[in-house]
Amino acid sequence: MSTTTTNPAPADAWSICATCAVEHAERPDVCAICADERQWVPASGQRWTTLAELAAAGEHVVVTELEPGLHGLTSEPSVGIGQQSKLVRTAAGTVLWDPLGYVDDAAVAAVRALGPVVAIVASHPHMFGVQVAWSRALGGVPVLVAEADAGWVARPDPVIETWSGERELLPGVTVSQPGGHFPGSAVLHWADGADGRGVLLSGDTVMANPDRTSVSFMRSYPNRIPLSAAVALRVAEHVARRPFERLYNNFDGVVPAGARDVVLRSAERHAAWVRGDFDDLT
């Protein structure tokens, strides 16, 4: 993947795309992540920002307990795609999942108060946020990037480590790679979540729907590009290898109960619709 840089980076040597909030070492004509068919560039054109500009505008991070051992982090006002980052807390440390596109001293203090962060992991490139900035603010925590998606990293740094397949980050906290939305799209399984029945942090590899009883499988959510039947079934089968009662997506969407069965049923429904099984209803 290549880009043409026409504007120098500002004095702090890196910038943030205002649309996706992914950090960049340089300012290309357009953010490659947003120019891809899975994302979008505003009609008004590419715009860049910095942490300093965001802070001056009153940006801050809000930390909320979602359930015992799991916290959600949101940037207010919303930055970029506006994901809700998740922090999984265990006796051995914490994992920061889908890092935000903003970080400041208060946010770092709040995260540190919940335990030492052992890894920062994004489910896919749309969720990279300012992952290197978070790492540096937390003392050089490893940033794990799926090997298949490493070409999307726009701010290289020694803290970034590539991985593939599956990796246990903490006892009972495992990241794995079903692919789908991106080739390296990942999910995080937390065995002790939901009172020991298991929690899946699915990013938008598997998207919890507003009805809270179904999920979706898409190549692009904003541009409405579905995945094939075969890929939806593959993703569902991959995540169903482990038990989980609850599922959280990368925003505030949740399937509160029976989530593993919900994922399997939803994949079958998705496959049936894209195969044409229900064309008589259209």
Q: What is the pLDDT along the chain (282 residues), one digit of tens a residue?
A: 433 343 444 445 799 999 999 999 999 999 999 999 999 999 999 999 999 999 999 999 999 999 999 999 999 999 999 999 999 999 999 999 999 999 999 999 999 999 999 999 999 999 999 999 999 999 999 999 999 999 999 999 999 999 999 999 999 999 999 999 999 999 999 999 999 999 999 999 999 999 999 999 999 999 999 999 999 999 999 999 999 999 999 999 999 999 999 999 999 999 999 999 999 999
3-class secondary structure, 215: strand
Distances (CA, A) of 57 to 24, 79, 99: 20, 11, 20
Model pLDDT, residue 253: 97
User: What distance in Å separates the CA atoms of residue 78 and residue 72, rounded to the nearest whole number?
Assistant: 14
CB 202 within 8 A of CB 196: no
Cβ neighbours of residue 29 closer than 8 Å, sequence gap 6 or more: 3, 4, 5, 6, 46
| Residue 262 burial by Cβ neighbours in a 10 Å radius (0-12, 13-18, 19+) | buried
User: What distance in Å separates the CA atoms of residue 258 and residue 121, rounded to the nearest whole number?
Assistant: 26
Q: Which of 49, 51, 2, 50 has the alpha carbon at shortest distance from 28?
A: 2
Is the backbone of residue 224 left (phi > 0), alpha (psi -120 to 50) or beta?
Answer: left
Show the CA angle centred on residue 194, arms to residues 193 and 198, nearest 5°.
Answer: 55
Model pLDDT, residue 12: 57
User: What distance in Å separates the CA atoms of residue 9 and residue 271, rounded to the nearest whole number?
Assistant: 45
Q: Around 254, how many Cα atoms within 13 Å sit in the side-chain half-sphere?
A: 13
User: What distance in Å separates the CA atoms of residue 186 and residue 14, rounded to the nearest whole number?
Assistant: 26
CB 176 within 8 A of CB 187: yes
3-class secondary structure, 270: helix
Cα of first residue to Cα of last residue in the chain, in angstroms, is 40
Q: Which CATH superfamily hosts domain 55-275?
A: Ribonuclease Z/Hydroxyacylglutathione hydrolase-like (3.60.15.10)
